[in-house]
């Protein structure tokens, strides 16, 4: 996707072919800064501090973190230590475990001298596959947008509400929830996106709004609590979000607040679709209550960061100093509230049968 008209991915290799470069997402939307990752510790820090975030990008960064570890020390001990370090960074997005397992299974049987090169090859493949998966989610998902547009006589833009950032910044490119939006934009189907601000870290207001603006997609930022109101007013045609982990039976873990949007969508007959890449399906569980929910630092709730009129980036306190705060980062939307899952293989019902029909090899 474009940054000031130049196409970017969210993760790439520097000219030396080994150093990993990322966009520091903690600085957006105020500053576009890239950061070099030179070690597995840098990669773990980037994930933990949310310089990179979003389920698919967390997986891709972890894969490159293994490469950075192995180029220094290709031993079994170093491989296992890197795996454990990276796995501990964030608990909810299953792409992390998936990518690390891919690398570990591939590398452990290899001789030490072959490991680093093979790791770099597999990490690059994981990134390229993610781009292809997301693009394909876009190609399938755009049909939902086209259908509403044609049903309405092509007389107005299609309103899509999204939560958090499941855009290209959360993946390697295209995004999951945003891929159908970008494909619609490319195909000149007019769309307008309601962007939930997504407290406490404001991934919607800071990241989704920024990338839609960079790409020229019309959008409006709303506070998290406004979603129900705009749905009641008949101003939302589709709710589309991403997911950090979806069970084999279709329960969807995503950014905190997704569940409330799903409830409001059901009450207002707004279809709720989830952009779901294959590596985000946890085939080992069927019940959403088994998904570990990350709890983050309370300071993300008690403080807020922004740019002053003078251009300074400042963090200010918004709660009384004596008040405690809880910071649940994700929630689980039960499959019964999900209209459909948009995968790279097509759209299916959020059920065990729906997913098994698209991924028969996982049966
Ligand atoms: O805490 P984050 O910013 O990593 O959470 C990201 C989300 O919840 C996204 O919606 C999800 O990862 C889907 S991304 C394609």
Cα separations (Å) of 351 from 23, 36, 230, 239, 334?
36, 41, 28, 19, 10
Residue 155 CA to ligand 1 centre (angstroms): 33
Nearest residue (CA) to ligand 1, atom 8: 255
Given a contact cutoff of 8 angstroms between Cβ atoms, the answer to whether 268 and 231 are in contact is: yes
Q: Is 211 exposed, middle or buried (0-12, 13-18, 19+ CB in 10 A)?
A: buried
Test site for ligand 1: of 26, 59, 164, most ligand atoms within 8 A of the Cβ:
164
Angle at 138 between CA 274 and CA 245, to 5 degrees: 30
Q: Predicted confidence band at 1 (pLDDT cuts at 50, 70, 90)?
A: confident
Which tokens belong to 68? Answer: 């950075």
What's the confidence (pLDDT) of residue 222? 98
**Ligand 1 cavity residues, CB under 6 Å:** 53-56, 93, 164, 166, 170-171, 175-176, 203, 241-244, 254-255, 329
**Ligand 1 atom closest to 163 (CA):** 10
Enumerate domains of the chain plus CATH numbers.
2-128 (1.20.120.420), 140-362 (3.40.50.10470)
Residue 1 CA to ligand 1 centre (angstroms): 18
Closest listed residue to residue 273, CA positions, set 179, 166, 347: 347
Given a contact cutoff of 8 angstroms between Cβ atoms, the answer to whether 122 and 106 are in contact is: yes
Catalytic residue among 196, 224, 237, 244: 244
Residue 64 host element (H or E): helix 55-72
Q: Is 16 a catalytic residue?
A: no
Q: 15-73, pLDDT tens digit by residue?
A: 999 999 999 999 999 999 999 999 999 999 999 999 999 999 999 999 999 999 999 99
**Assessment of whether the complete model's pTM goes beyond 0.95:** yes
**Chain-wide mean pLDDT for the chain?**
98
What average pLDDT does range 88-105 have in this prediction?
A: 98
Given a contact cutoff of 8 angstroms between Cβ atoms, the answer to whether 142 and 182 are in contact is: no
What average pLDDT does range 86-108 have in this prediction?
A: 98
Nearest residue (CA) to ligand 1, atom 14: 166
Pairing of strands 238-241, 272-275: parallel
Instruction: For residues 56 and 171, give the distance between their C-alpha atoms in angstroms, rounded to a whole number.
Output: 5
DSSP SS3 for 40: helix
Q: 249-283, pLDDT tens digit by residue?
A: 999 999 999 999 999 999 999 999 999 999 999 99
Residue 255 CA to ligand 1 centre (angstroms): 6
What's the confidence (pLDDT) of residue 4? 92
């Amino acid at each position: 996707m474009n940054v000031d008209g130049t196409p970017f991915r969210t993760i790439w290799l520097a000219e030396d072919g080994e150093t990993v470069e990322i966009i520091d997402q903690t600085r957006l939307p105020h500053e576009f800064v890239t950061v070099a990752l030179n070690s597995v510790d840098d990669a773990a820090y980037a994930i933990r501090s949310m310089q990179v975030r979003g389920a698919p990008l967390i997986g891709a960064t972890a894969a490159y973190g293994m490469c950075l570890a192995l180029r220094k020390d290709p031993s079994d001990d170093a491989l296992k230590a890197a795996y454990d370090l990276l796995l501990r960074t964030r608990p909810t997005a299953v792409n992390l475990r998936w990518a690390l397992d891919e690398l570990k299974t591939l590398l452990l049987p290899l001789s030490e001298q072959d490991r680093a090169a093979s790791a770099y090859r597999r990490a690059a493949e994981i990134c390229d596959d993610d781009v292809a998966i997301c693009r394909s989610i876009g190609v399938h998902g755009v049909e939902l947008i086209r259908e509403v547009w044609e049903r309405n006589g092509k007389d107005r833009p299609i309103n899509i509400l999204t939560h958090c950032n499941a855009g290209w910044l959360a993946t390697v490119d295209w995004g999951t929830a945003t891929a159908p939006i970008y494909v619609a934009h490319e195909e000149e189907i007019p769309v307008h996106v309601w962007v939930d601000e997504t407290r406490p870290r404001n991934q919607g207001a800071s990241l989704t709004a920024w990338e839609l603006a960079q790409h020229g997609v019309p959008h409006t930022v709303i506070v998290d609590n406004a979603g129900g109101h705009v749905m009641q007013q008949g101003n939302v045609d589709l709710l589309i979000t991403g997911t950090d982990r979806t069970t084999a039976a279709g329960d969807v873990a995503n950014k905190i607040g997704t569940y409330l949007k799903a409830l409001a969508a059901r009450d207002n007959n707004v279809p709720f679709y989830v952009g779901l890449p294959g590596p985000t399906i946890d085939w080992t569980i069927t019940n959403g209550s088994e998904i570990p929910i990350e709890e983050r630092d309370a300071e993300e709730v008690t403080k807020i960061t922004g740019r002053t009129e003078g251009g300074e980036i400042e963090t200010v306190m918004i709660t009384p100093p004596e008040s405690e705060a809880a910071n649940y980062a994700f929630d689980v939307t039960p499959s019964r509230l999900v209209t459909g899952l948009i995968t790279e293989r097509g759209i299916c019902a959020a059920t065990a049968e729906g997913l098994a029909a698209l991924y028969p090899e996982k049966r």
